[in-house]
Structure 1
Amino acid sequence: MRIVIIGAGFAGMYAALSAARQREIQGVSPDQLEIALIAPAPVLVVRPRLYEAKPETLTAPLFDVFEAIDVTYVQGSAETVDTEARMVQIATAKGTRKTLSYDRLVVATGSRLFRPDIPGLAEHGFSVDTLDDAVALDRHLHGLAKRPAANGRDTVVVAGGGFTGIEAATEMPARLRDIFGKEARPRIVIVERNNVIAPDMGEGARPIIVEALRKLGVETRLGAGVASLDESGVTLSNGEHIETGTVIWAAGIRAAPLTTQIPAGRDNFGRLLVDRDLRVPGVAGVFATGDAARAACDDDGNHALMSCQHATRMGAFAGNNAAADLLGVPTRPYHQKAYVTCLDLGEAGALFTRGWEREVEMVGATAKKTKQEINTVWIYPPKAERAVALAAADPERVTDL
């Protein structure tokens, strides 16, 4: 028997851990039930931190963790999925292809930044979506120091006033002063199509964000979008042209394209619709999790967001349920009533809210300390020790805040 997990992000990692935990609970050996995880590299990219400086350091090794819990790592990228034949075709780094059969499949392929067909975006836009993107941006920022302080060199425009855009923008003043010198006065502008900043954060949290932006000198352009980019800067939908050498696109994500190969329903973000066990209805043997799945968190109409917080717990339930289903033991319906947000606000601290109504619980330095703990401890893989790693994958305990 074999469980195949596609993806080594937060959901894929926890799916592997939890499937191995369920296998051990049932007293089944790795020879009887193989758990195989497919990914281009055996590392976790700490994606929630890619807005920070030195992004090349923001990965965590997974090979030793997988080895400790008897999970087979398969290097490569899943290219096609045949759900009738229960086969996954994998493209290897050497350019060859191989296939892997499965009895249960966990789709944990994550999400990608949505890049619309805006003139100049592909040529002149940066992002913090992937490790390569973040490294490219960091190199670009350091390269700016070699240019004359003119023609918008010290100006950064961030397209998107949501969670990612705000974190990228509020981190930028300190990053640019580190590069240009302490006396530098960088100009940061957030462009947001909605008429308010942080449209999803609610009325209670928004004034704190607005005040943080004011304190940091971050400008906003609300009710306008990016119309085009060129070498001189960015033109907005209201006709304004902002001279800049750096535009960071942070305006929306979609589920990874591989989900389109699963013959099932999807939402507007491309996420597969799943039941409470995270199965894909109508597709035998397939589970979906993390950013690849639209799952109900509770009975109150709340659904998992495309976030690390939801991906880790969803991954644990998906891996557990794939193994339980295959071994003929009861599954556990996914649920996640606890929900918090912790928004980094750069040198202005942070903002911590609790619940779907985003009730403000901590601000400033206190919230910043919690954010740093989340970013440096909580979201990293467990130790590569069998007992510790398996204990960390209990679905009922993962991200129980």
Structure 2
Amino acid sequence: MKQQILIIGAGFGGMWSALSAVRLLDRQQRLDVAVTVLAPQAELRVRPRFYEADLSTTVAPLGPLFDAVGVHFVQGSATRIHSEERRVSYRDRNGNSASLAYDRLILASGSQVSRPPVAGIDQFTFDVDSLESAQKLEAHLQALRRQPDSPARNTVVVAGGGFTGIETAMEMPARLRALLGEQADIRVIVVDMANQVGGAMGQDIAAVVAEASDQLGVTWKLGSPVAKVERAGVVLDNGERIEASTVIWAVGVQASPLTQQISAERDLHGRLHVDRYLKVLGQEAIYATGDTAYAAVDDIGNHALMTCQHAIALGRSAGNNAAADLLGVEPIAYSQPKYVTCLDLGAWGAVFTEGWERKVVLTGQEGKALKTQINTEWIYPPAAERAAALAAADPLIPVVA
């Protein structure tokens, strides 16, 4: 019987883990190890683009790619990790219970939007955390056209001024005008705990976000979080009420709940602490990658963020090292010292920065051209051709040159 490398999740971390594991098995000419991906769908859902209006190109099928490289796909959702038994229970697409054994497990089950105990958050907010939730938001926005003109109809509140909140808010003026007409008195309001517009992104980039916000008509309510969400608005912690038919929640993310089933240390986002090879500390057969891994990217104290930029490299490393561990060959330490940011600012353009201090390099339409290239080319899967796909999974290839 073949040994099994089991990967939970088919996002950036999971897909690249699978390709990288097969790459090393191929190089070692080992046919006695199988690579299996367990996920709800054999597709890469390009989550970084779910803030956009057109979702038609945000899903990339993975079936042909997995077939080309010999990855076995199992459609289902993991429900329980039995680490002592080296087994994962799951529900298949028909709701039936089943299980898969593993010799090495790679947890790549991603993250989900944080939902703190705020009154009304589950009933009255939207998000762009998943394809389904982004589709739900778009359907809601389309339905606004059938409502009578009112301040609430014309207002969108975005709770959270981080990466997702900013990109979502900056798209909203154009989306609303396309739906409600150029003469509609639209309002897009970002509610953020920071004391400065774009403050969560750092000082240099904040000035660019402020400029874009002014030009697009996006306003900010700073220093007071949302305390309550109602059917037609929000109440802030300071008592202020904003009438709004649309409230979008973008206040941070938490690692997949599956991380809670593994006996190991976790960070404040629920990510598992891993060693330099991405093996979960205290576990002999479990690796974490993507948004489930709290991983050092360099030797000066920086850690991977919960972004596709880091998930791609984390996946390539996790797959390689899980296979190396099983084969008894030398692993390759995960390292990703170069960090960049490319933040979409709607019709204004985009801003591209380099380094952990986020030094601004490109803005406006120059930044937008790069953001478009990233969103439509760089983060998509390789072609379903075995040699090229495996070559692309080399853990030593930098995601950002």
Shorter-chain TM-score: which interval?
over 0.9
* Structure 1 unpaired stretches of 5+: none
**Residue 119 of structure 1 corresponds to which residue in structure 2?**
119
Q: What is the CA-CA distance between 1:56 and the residue it aligns to?
A: 4.7
**Residue 190 of structure 1 corresponds to which residue in structure 2?**
190
**Residue 107 of structure 2 corresponds to which residue in structure 1?**
107
Equivalent residue of 2:325, what SS?
helix
- Asked if the contact 2:194/2:200 (under 8 Å) is kept, the reply is no
Q: Deviations over 1:20-62 (max 9, x none)?
A: 1111110112xx1100000000011100000000225411100
- Asked if the contact 1:19/1:320 (under 8 Å) is kept, the reply is yes
Mapped to 2, the partners of 1:8 and 1:104 lie a distance apart of 17
- Asked if the contact 1:273/1:280 (under 8 Å) is kept, the reply is yes
Mapped to 2, the partners of 1:148 and 1:133 lie a distance apart of 25
* Number of aligned residue pairs: 399
1:4 aligns with 2:6: yes
- Asked if the contact 2:352/2:367 (under 8 Å) is kept, the reply is yes
**Residue 364 of structure 2 corresponds to which residue in structure 1?**
364
Q: Deviations over 1:238-264 (max 9, x none)?
A: 111111100000001000100011111
Q: Deviations over 1:213-254 (max 9, x none)?
A: 000010100001101111221111111111110000000100
The aligned runs of 1:149-228 (5 Å cut-off) are 149-228=149-228
Match of 1:28 among 19, 26, 30: 30
Q: What is the CA-CA distance between 1:316 and the residue it aligns to?
A: 0.3
1:14 aligns with 2:2: no
Mapped to 2, the partners of 1:96 and 1:210 lie a distance apart of 51
Q: CA RMSD in A?
A: 0.9
TM-score by length of 1: 0.98
The aligned runs of 1:312-331 (5 Å cut-off) are 312-331=312-331
Equivalent residue of 1:207, what SS?
helix
Distance 1:321 1:363, change over 3 A: same
Mapped to 2, the partners of 1:398 and 1:18 lie a distance apart of 14
**Residue 349 of structure 1 corresponds to which residue in structure 2?**
349
The aligned runs of 1:249-288 (5 Å cut-off) are 249-288=249-288
- Asked if the contact 2:255/2:269 (under 8 Å) is kept, the reply is yes
Q: What is the CA-CA distance between 1:275 and the residue it aligns to?
A: 0.4
Q: What is the CA-CA distance between 1:179 and the residue it aligns to?
A: 1.2
Mapped to 1, the partners of 2:71 and 2:292 lie a distance apart of 22
Deviates more, 1:280-289 or 1:155-164: 280-289
AA in 2 matched with 1:65: L
AA in 1 matched with 2:252: G
Equivalent residue of 2:304, what SS?
coil
Mapped to 2, the partners of 1:195 and 1:301 lie a distance apart of 26
AA in 2 matched with 1:170: M
Mapped to 1, the partners of 2:101 and 2:199 lie a distance apart of 44
Mapped to 1, the partners of 2:290 and 2:398 lie a distance apart of 13
Mapped to 2, the partners of 1:176 and 1:284 lie a distance apart of 52
Q: Deviations over 1:338-357 (max 9, x none)?
A: 10000000011000000111
Equivalent residue of 2:17, what SS?
helix
Deviates more, 1:139-148 or 1:50-59: 50-59
Equivalent residue of 1:145, what SS?
helix
Q: Deviations over 1:303-343 (max 9, x none)?
A: 00011100000000000000111111100000001100000
Mapped to 2, the partners of 1:94 and 1:342 lie a distance apart of 40
Mapped to 1, the partners of 2:324 and 2:309 lie a distance apart of 23
- Asked if the contact 1:11/1:315 (under 8 Å) is kept, the reply is yes
Distance 1:74 1:398, change over 3 A: farther
**Residue 237 of structure 1 corresponds to which residue in structure 2?**
237
Deviates more, 1:67-76 or 1:90-99: 90-99
Identity of aligned residues (%): 51
- Asked if the contact 1:48/1:308 (under 8 Å) is kept, the reply is yes
Mapped to 2, the partners of 1:338 and 1:167 lie a distance apart of 22
Q: What is the CA-CA distance between 1:148 and the residue it aligns to?
A: 0.5
**Residue 65 of structure 2 corresponds to which residue in structure 1?**
65
Deviates more, 1:90-99 or 1:242-251: 90-99
**Residue 375 of structure 2 corresponds to which residue in structure 1?**
375
Equivalent residue of 2:7, what SS?
strand
Q: Deviations over 1:79-102 (max 9, x none)?
A: 101111100111111111111110
- Asked if the contact 1:316/1:398 (under 8 Å) is kept, the reply is no
Mapped to 2, the partners of 1:206 and 1:198 lie a distance apart of 4
**Residue 91 of structure 1 corresponds to which residue in structure 2?**
91
Mapped to 2, the partners of 1:17 and 1:11 lie a distance apart of 10
AA in 1 matched with 2:115: R
Mapped to 1, the partners of 2:200 and 2:148 lie a distance apart of 39
Mapped to 2, the partners of 1:95 and 1:122 lie a distance apart of 25
The aligned runs of 1:43-54 (5 Å cut-off) are 43-54=43-54
AA in 1 matched with 2:328: G
Mapped to 2, the partners of 1:120 and 1:205 lie a distance apart of 32
AA in 1 matched with 2:250: A
Mapped to 1, the partners of 2:274 and 2:197 lie a distance apart of 32
Q: Deviations over 1:144-173 (max 9, x none)?
A: 000001141010000001110000000001
Equivalent residue of 1:220, what SS?
strand
- Asked if the contact 2:120/2:228 (under 8 Å) is kept, the reply is yes
TM-score by length of 2: 0.98
Mapped to 1, the partners of 2:153 and 2:365 lie a distance apart of 31
